[in-house]
Amino acid sequence: MANEVFLKLEGIKKSFGGVHALRGVDLEIRKGEIHCLAGENGCGKSTLIKAISGVHDVDEGKIWIEGEQVEHLHPIDAINRGVQVIYQDFAIFPNLTVAENIALNGEVKDRTKLVSWKRIHQVAEAAMEQVGARMDPDMLLEQLPVAGKQMVAICRAIINDAKLLILDEPTTALTEPEVERLFQVIRSLKDKGIAIMIVNHKLDEIYKIADRLTILRNGSFVSTGLISEYDTQRFTRDLTGHEFESKKYVPENAGEEIFRVEHLTLPGKFEDVSFAINKGDVLGITGLLGSGRGELGEALFGVTPAQSGKIFLNGEEIRIKSIDDALNNRIGYVPEDRLTQGLFMDRSIEDNTVVSSIRNYFHGLKLNESEMEEATNRWIGELSIAAPSPKPPVRTLSGGNAQKVVIAKWLNTEPRLFILNGPTVGVDIGAKAEIHAILRGLAAQGIGIIIISDDLPELFTNCNKIVVMRQGKVGVITDNSVDNIEL
């Protein structure tokens, strides 16, 4: 049973108005396996999913489902053959209850006229039982956290007799324990003989969950194989087409102190935090969720200021009681959720780049547009932001490029200290390496860099000092010669 092929694709090609989204992709998914589909943004993953689910008709290539070749697959055919996709937005109803969300699709399919709440509850309970999720069936979806909404989407998918469940980047918005929980559920579905395809490009997660892996790049098939055949080197090479050296960061010429905090305390969040950053240092702050790592970052930027303790910048004591104080001391901060807190998604790259330094471009009452454009062009070049001009809205950029715009915004203010909270979350591996290189370069120029992250490998390669927070206190401060830290 484990080796029986459920879905087979051969030479799938699809283009949209001259743009080749898929240039010949092969894929084989077996019953009862967890298959990972990896690839950088824009590699054709979403198009491939839509081809499998019948949303896009393919231009060329063959599709077999359970050994039977299908042509011109329609969404409803795909569903009837047991293909279920859980998209990133889950397509759920926030205003309806858990039970109704799970049962509604089936009711629509059966063309029910009258609603039986008893039946809806039965269907929902059965689905939750099968998935092993425990939720109050009368809870409104909008009251559930993201992970709960996802569980509801999974429950809904499997009651429709799913044989292949496709999850599009299911872990993006989840916390560590929620990811664990999701993986448990996925494994139990696998044991029931359901084939699972997960789109993901986080290697550590892929190792935890996948049996096999297929990698795409630029719409082409690169490689496929058992997960044991991939190590980090091969994975990154296949994914990006480049070799990345993962040399640990060591500052070239350590200099004098730039930034120091002493006994920083915000009751209930963190207490007695002390550390120092010298010229050339990249400092990492890590810890579990709730350890105070995020709050510490926000305190240094004045979002929720610390109540006591001292902060020194270039040897001078400074007070940070508000964001304005931080800005006046030229401290920059990249928040964790850049989409809602760091960027104006619908404004241009240029607007986003100059927004924090807009005062520099006023000449009298008039903004100097050409200077703004020039500055933006300079950052586009220096940070290699993939954009044709400073004018397109940030929404059109990929995650990695959007993050570079946030960085450009702060660099344009000439910061002395730059704090980044989860700078590479949701950024693909190539852009991640570029961002790391940028941060190292800034540190060499004498800008103090703080990276707050729970991505330990990221910290080990990029930070020469790592502060580990445990329950609001500094647990340990270490250099990056270690390979693992207990959080």
Partner 1 sequence: MKKGKRNSMLTSTQMILLYVIIVFCIIVGLRQPAFFSVATVINIARAAIFSACFALCEMIVIISGGIDVSFPAIGCVAMYVPMYLIDKGMGSQSAWFCFGVAILIGLGFGLFNSILIAVLDIPPLIATLATSSIASGGAVTIFGSHDYTSLPEGLQKIYNTNLITYVDPNTGFSYVLNILVLVPIIASIIVAFLLKRTMLGRGLYAIGGAKHAARVAGLNVRGLQFFAYIFSGAFTGLTAMIYTTLMKSARISALMGDEMIIIAACVIGGVRITGGHGTVSGTLLGVLLITLVQNSLNMLGIPTSWQRFVVGIIILLGTILTSWQTKRSLKAEKA
Beta carbons of 239 and 39 less than 8 angstroms apart: yes
**103 neighbors 120 (Cβ within 8 angstroms):** yes
Cα torsion through 273, 277, 282, 285, rounded to 10: 0
Quick check: 468 binds partner 1 (CB under 8 A)?
Answer: no
Report the nearest approach of partner 1 to the CB of residue 53 (Å).
11
Q: Which residue has the tokens 């990896």?
A: 38
Tokens of 273: 């935090």
Least distance from C-beta 106 to partner 1, angstroms? 10
Element (H or E) spanning 278, and its range?
Answer: strand 270-278
Q: Which of residues 121-180 bind partner 1 (CB under 8 A)?
A: 136, 138-140, 142-145
Nearest approach, Cβ of 108 to partner 1 (angstroms)?
5
Instruction: Out of 16, 60, 74, 94, name the contact with partner 1 by CB under 8 A.
Output: 94
As measured in angstroms, the least distance from the Cβ of 97 to partner 1 is 10
Residue 92, interface with partner 1 (CB under 8 A)?
A: yes
**CA 373 from centroid of its chain's CA atoms:** 30
Nearer of residues 138 and 231 to partner 1, judged by Cβ: 138
Q: How many CB atoms lie within 10 A of CB 362?
A: 10
Of the two residues 28 and 107, which places its CB atom closer to partner 1 in the complex?
107
For residue 191, report the phi and psi dihedrals to the nearest 5 degrees: -65, -25
State yes or no: residue 295 binds partner 1 (CB under 8 A): no
Minimum CB distance to partner 1, residue 120 (Å): 9
Whole-angstrom CA distances from 481 to 287, 293, 485 are: 18, 21, 11
CA 470 to chain CA centroid, nearest Å: 24
DSSP string, 204-215: HHHHHH-SEEEE
Residue among 114 and 365 whose Cβ is closer to partner 1:
114
Pair 328, 322: CB distance under 8 Å: no
Candidates 103-111, 220-228, 330-338, 475-483 — which segment interacts with partner 1 by CB under 8 A?
103-111
**Residue 367 within binding range of partner 1, rule CB under 8 A:** no
Q: How far is the CB of 395 from partner 1 (least distance, A)?
A: 18
89 interacts with partner 1 by CB under 8 A: yes
Interface pick for partner 1 out of 20, 88, 93, 345 (rule CB under 8 A): 93
Query: Taking each helix axis from N to C terminus, what angle separates 176-191 and 146-159, rounded to the nearest 10 degrees?
Result: 10
* Residue 113 binds partner 1 (CB under 8 A): yes
Which residue in 33, 40, 100, 168 binds partner 1 (CB under 8 A)? 100
Closest to partner 1 by CB, 100 vs 295, is: 100
Q: Considering the complex, what minimum distance in angstroms separates the CB of residue 82 from partner 1?
A: 16
3-state secondary structure 60-81: EEEEEECCEEECCCCHHHHHHC
> Which is closer to partner 1, CB of 80 or CB of 322?
80
Q: Cβ distance 50 to 224 under 8 Å?
A: no
Q: Which residues of 225-237 are buried (b: 16+ CB within 10 A; e: fewer)?
A: eebeebeeeebbb
Cβ pair 404, 328 in contact under 8 A: no
Binding status of residue 91 toward partner 1 by CB under 8 A? yes
The region of 105-113, 166-174, 192-200, 241-249 touching partner 1 under the rule CB under 8 A is: 105-113
Number of residues that bind partner 1 (CB under 8 A): 26
> Is the Cβ of residue 90 or residue 249 nearer to partner 1 in the bound state?
90
294 vs 372: CA distance, rounded Å = 32
CB of 85 to partner 1, least distance (A): 10
107, 169, 211, 325: which one contacts partner 1 (CB under 8 A)? 107
Selected from 80, 95, 122, 184, the binder of partner 1 by CB under 8 A is 95
Structure tokens at 301: 């930027």
Beta-sheet pairing, 270-278 with 316-318: unpaired
Measured distance CA(265)–CA(270) in Å, rounded: 6
- Opening angle at CA 151, ends 148 and 157, nearest 5: 145
Residue 287's H or E segment, with its range, is strand 282-287
Per DSSP (E only), the strands in 355-483 are: 362-363, 366-367, 417-421, 448-452, 465-470, 473-478
Stretch touching partner 1 by CB under 8 A, among 102-110, 288-296, 431-439, 471-479: 102-110
Per CB under 8 A, the segment of 101-109, 352-360, 393-401, 402-410 that binds partner 1 is 101-109
Least spacing, CB of residue 91 vs partner 1, in Å: 4
User: Which range binds partner 1 by CB under 8 A, 89-97, 176-184, 186-194, 373-381?
Assistant: 89-97
**Contact flag: residue 238 with partner 1 (CB under 8 A):** no
Q: Tell which one of 18, 114, 364, 381 touches partner 1 (CB under 8 A).
A: 114
Whichever of 92 and 266 has its CB closer to partner 1, that residue is 92
Q: Which positions touch partner 1 (CB under 8 A)?
A: 89-96, 100, 104-105, 107-109, 112-115, 136, 138-140, 142-145
